[in-house]
């Protein structure tokens, strides 16, 4: 489960960064999938920023959850 969350978080971060770079420079035309969502028209930069934050949150949560499971109880 940890690897799945880390992979999904990494994918979200990459999509968000690609969308931001596409918005700023015009590069990564086919990587930025948010631009294909019609209901986000005009809000692409915000949606990409949310993807980056959500991806980082998933990676951190997966890492902190794995650390909590490795600790042995002191009894």
Tens of pLDDT, residue by residue over 18-61, are 989 988 988 877 777 887 888 988 898 999 999 999 999 999 99
54/38 Cα distance (integer angstroms): 21
Alpha helices, H only, 1-75: 2-25, 44-70
Tokens of 67: 């650390």
Q: Give pLDDT, residue 35.
A: 78
pTM here? Answer: 0.78
């Amino acid at each position: 489960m940890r690897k799945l969350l880390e992979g999904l978080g990494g994918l979200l971060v990459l999509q968000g960064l690609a969308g931001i770079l596409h918005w700023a420079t015009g590069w990564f035309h086919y990587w930025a999938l948010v631009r294909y969502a019609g209901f986000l028209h005009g809000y692409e930069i915000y949606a990409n920023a949310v993807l980056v934050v959500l991806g980082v949150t998933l990676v951190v949560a997966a890492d902190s959850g794995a650390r909590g499971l490795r600790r042995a109880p002191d009894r």
